[in-house]
Every structure is written in C-alpha cells, then in structure tokens.
Amino acid sequence: MRPLTLEKHPVLGGIVRYSPLLLLAAAWEASSRLGLVNEYALPPLSTVLVAWFQFLKDPSFYYHAGMSLMRAATGLSLAIVLGVTLGISMASFRWVEATFGPIVQMFYPMPKSALIPLTILWFGLGHLSKIFLIFLGCLLPMTLSSFNGARGTDKVLLWSASSLGASRWNRIRDVVFPASLPSIMAGMRTALALAFVLFVSSELIIANEGLGYLIRMTGDGGQYPAMFAVVLTVVSMGFLADRLLIAITHRVLRWRA
Amino acid sequence: MKTAAVAINRLSYSYAASDGRSVLALSDVSLVVEQGSFVSLLGPSGCGKSTLLYLIGGFLKQEGTAIHVDGVPVTGPGPDRGIVFQQFALFPWRTVLGNVVYGMEKQRVPRAERLDRAHKLIRDVGLAGFEASYPSQLSGGMRQRAAIARTLAVDPAILLMDEPFGALDAQTRGIMQEQLRQIWQATGKTVIFVTHDVREAVYLSQKVVVMSKRPGTIKEIIDTSFEGSEADARVQSAVEDIWQQVKLEFADAPAHA
Ligand SMILES: Nc1ncnc2c1ncn2[C@@H]1O[C@H](COP(=O)(O)OP(=O)(O)O)[C@@H](O)[C@H]1O
Ligand SMILES: [Mg+2]
C-alpha cells in the first residue's frame, strides 16, 4: 500500500493547502487587537465575523447578493455566448476577422471601468447599465481566447473530418469548437474574475442595490465591520465561483490526458 | 485491362513560403494507380511524398485537372478517399467509438447500423473493450488502429496513408503492417502508402514509386508484386536493388530520425 501523504488526504490536505489563509486571519486579528493598525482601518476579524452573522440573519442581505449575482451571471453568460461565436467566426471567416479583429485589439487593454459613466448615460441607473458593462468587459477575453483556440486547430483534424464527409459548418461545430475548448475555458476564468471586479465597481459608483452598493452604504455610514463583512462576502463568492468553474473545466476537458 | 483509380498527369505544385517566395515541392509528376493495387511512395524526407498524397486527397488546392480519381478531376476532399496520418489525427474529445462513428454520422447512416458497423470494425482492429476510451488513454499502436477503423468505417475505395506506422515501435509496426496487408487483401481497396522505409515499401506493395529529392519527381517505378515459392528471396533482392537506387537521394537528403 502506498502511504497516504498529508497533501492527498481529502480533509487534512485542504487544511494544509489553505493554512496560509489561517495564518493571514490570525495576523489580521492580532494586528488589530494589539493596536498595530487603526481599528477603523482594519476592524478585528472577530468583529467582522460578528457583523457577517448579523447579515446572514437579514433577508435584505440576500436580496443584495442575489442582485449582484444576477447581474454578473447575465453579463458573463451573454459574453460567453457572443464571445465564443465571434471568436470562432473570426478564426473561420476572413471577413469577420477583418471587420472585428482591429476593434477587439483596440479595446482589449482598455480598463472597462472607464466605461461606467457611459453605460449609465446609455442605460440608466438600473440593472441594464451594470449588465452591459460586465458583458462588454467579459466579451473581449472570451472573444480573444476563442479566436486563439480556434486558430490553433490542428489542420489534420480538419482534413480528417472533411474526408469523412463533414461540411464546412460540421467542421466548425465538430472540430474547431471542441479544439478551442481548452482556450475557451481559460478565457472563462479570466472573464469570471473580471465580472466580479466590474459588478463591484459599477455598484460602488452608482446603484440602489447589490453588494457594491452595500459596501458603499456601510462605509459611508461608518459601519466598518459591516463593510468588511460585505467585502469578505464578495471574496468568498468569487472564490467559490472560481472553484466551481475549475470543476466544470475538468469535466468539460475530461478527454485530455 | 485494369482501370485507373488515380491518374496523375504532369502535376507540379508550389507552396507559398512566408517570405513571399514559392517553394517548388513537386515537379512534373505523372503516375497511374490501378484500381485495387497497393502502391508505395518512397523517398527521402522533404521530397514531396506528403504533398503528393494531400493533393490526391484534395486537401491542398491546385489549379487545373492534373489529378483524376475514377475519371473525375479532384476538386476537394471526399469520402471516396480515406486518409490515415502518421500522427493519427483522432478527435481527442471523442472516444474510440465516437471517432469510428463520426464519418457514418456525416453520411447519415442510421444509428443502429452505425453502431453495429463501428463495433465490428473496432473488434476487427483488435480494440474490443476500448470503445469508451479517449485517444489520450491509448498507446500509439492502439491510436493508429482506431484511426484506421475510423477511416474504414466510411468504406472509401481509396486509402491514402502518410507514414502511418512511422511513429510506432518496430514490433508494433510489424504487426500493423501484417494487419494492413490483410485488410487490403480482404477489401480490395486501392492503397497509396507513403513511407521512407524501403523494406516496408517492398514488403507491402505491388509497386514502389521512388521519388527524387526536392523538387520531387518520379525517379523510377519498380514492380514488387512477388508471389510463389521464391517470393521471399525476391523481396530480399528487390530491397537491395531499391536501396541502391535511392542511396544517392537519401545520402544527399537532410538527416531525419
Ligand atoms: N506548408 C508548407 N509551406 C511551405 N513549404 C512546405 C510546406 N509543406 C511542405 N513544404 C515543403 O515542401 C517540400 C515537400 O514536403 P513534404 O511533402 O512534406 O515532404 P515529405 O512528405 O516527402 O517529407 C519540403 O521541402 C517542405 O519543406
Ligand atoms: Mg511527409
């Protein structure tokens, strides 16, 4: 029998892996308790956790979290569908690349949060401006990752499909798309992180609901432990969403060695 | 008289190199491959063997009507010409079964018949029990068997094989050569087989087409269909002869593994 190393143990392994986080938590608590930092700038972790438990009993907290999630999920989903379609089309049809390639390259490095005032101008203060911003921000990494994945499709796979009777559309659906999946899934991870950045920053600037809004309200009201609790909520949601995406990626790419 | 499966009349082909110049890969090639025959294309690396095969397959585009298959000019790939590549070119996201049924799906073979035929082919090539395996889970020899089964599934009249056993170890190669010979004898397909292995070419084929180094031309066509009691001795002497013929070409060609 092979010895079970600590890292591979299902529970202990997780504890070992995330032990730096426990250290960080301890350092946080200690620095605040010992007065190394101002209590307003960094309330002790225990105080923040108490505020968090207060939130968990408060239905309106779930409403705000739900609103943020809905906006992020809608914007991200639209960006995935359109980005994959656009990226694969750019790789498959010269005229699509000629039309959209320069636009995508131009906007890729631009900080999307700079568009927040514009999206508000176009779509108002409600959901639509946030969803549009998230969609726009995630569209570029999704388009580029799909484009790069599709462009790298091995030509002997396309030839094999042709000689087995595949039409051009068959080749795009049956060969180019699955061949792009590793790159698409990597792009999705980037886009997911971006969706979190964008929902928080757009709600921070102007909104009447959402976790970003809640951060601003608690901060403006001087309820710093509560503010930190909301930030922690965003961090945890981001972490869980990322883990979920990694699990999905493993499933989608299970054919890889 | 035997009918021509493939007739090539004064074919030349150039690649457009990235610096804008063109590379002449084939020069004035004429060749007739009779229906049901087994022909090897033999020559040093870079002499244009693959290029010639890809042109017959219709994967590379060429102007004019220098290549006829069954009396019809080649304009693109088709299921009448199956191809097997050195690097297998299986769809990595499909299982062995999924790969073998792909062509039949495109040919709209009814589902039940599709599965029947696929299972029989998978058994024939010795992969029974691996239907649900992904290519990444198979050895090189098993992958090539799966690729051959996938190509045979659409029952092409012509088999194009580009150094199909070049990536396999010597023992597996020997077994695969024997299997290919049996398949050819059982099905009566026309086989055009690219190799740079003199012994393999002589052992398998009825005719060996010796090509010169780039730009590829046909140097000599040698009859190697030996039968009867003295076959073994004559195979041996043919290998010696052809080895002498191609020694110069091989000697001047860039080294390859
Ligand atoms: N896509 C390509 N672009 C430019 N030159 C190529 C390309 N493919 C092959 N060649 C050149 O054409 C010649 C013939 O190649 P190939 O048919 O692959 O030779 P072989 O299969 O006999 O080794 C080689 O000199 C090679 O460098
Ligand atoms: Mg080659």
- Quick one: pLDDT at residue A4? 61
Cis (ω within 30 of 0) for the bond into A43? no
**Least confident interval from A51-65, A108-122, A229-243:** A108-122
Is the pLDDT confidence value at A1 over 60? no
What average pLDDT does the structure give for chain B?
89
- Give mean pLDDT, residues A4-17: 78
Decide: B46 in ligand 1 pocket, CB within 6 A. yes
pLDDT tens per residue, range B74-131:
999 999 999 999 999 999 999 999 999 999 999 999 999 999 999 999 999 999 999 9
Residues of A in contact with B77 (CB under 8 A): 159, 162-163
Question: CA angle B108-B111-B114, nearest 5°?
Answer: 80
Higher pLDDT, B216 or B246: B216
Ligand nearest to the CA of B17: 1
- Contact status of B57 with chain A (Cβ, < 8 Å): yes
The structure's pTM equals: 0.89
Tokens for A228, please give them.
């930190």
Q: Give me the domains of chain A, ranges plus CATH numbers.
A: 45-256 (1.10.3720.10)
Residue B255 confidence class, pLDDT cut points 50, 70, 90 = very low
The residue among A161 and B236 whose pLDDT is bigger is: A161
Cα-Cα-Cα-Cα dihedral sign, residues A150, A151, A154, A158: positive
Coil, helix or strand for B164?
A: coil
Q: Quote the CA–CA distance of A239 and A243 in Å, as a whole number.
A: 6
Ligand 1: residue whose CA is nearest its atom 12: B25
Tens-digit pLDDT profile for residues A23-37: 998 998 888 888 888
β-strand partners of B220: B210
- Residue A153, SS3 per DSSP: coil
- From the candidates B91, B104, B194, which should be mutated to test the interface with A, based on the most A CB atoms within 10 A? B91
Within 8 A of B151 by CB-CB distance, chain A residues are 163-164
Q: In the prediction, which pLDDT does A195 show? A: 96
Q: Is the CB of B95 under 6 A from ligand 1?
A: no
Virtual CA dihedral for B68, B71, B77, B82, nearest 10 degrees?
-100
Of A75, A185, A200, nearest to A131 by C-alpha is A75
**pLDDT, tens digit, for every residue of B138-185?**
999 999 999 999 999 999 999 999 999 998 889 989 998 999 999 999
User: B104-115: per-residue pLDDT in tens?
Assistant: 999 999 999 999
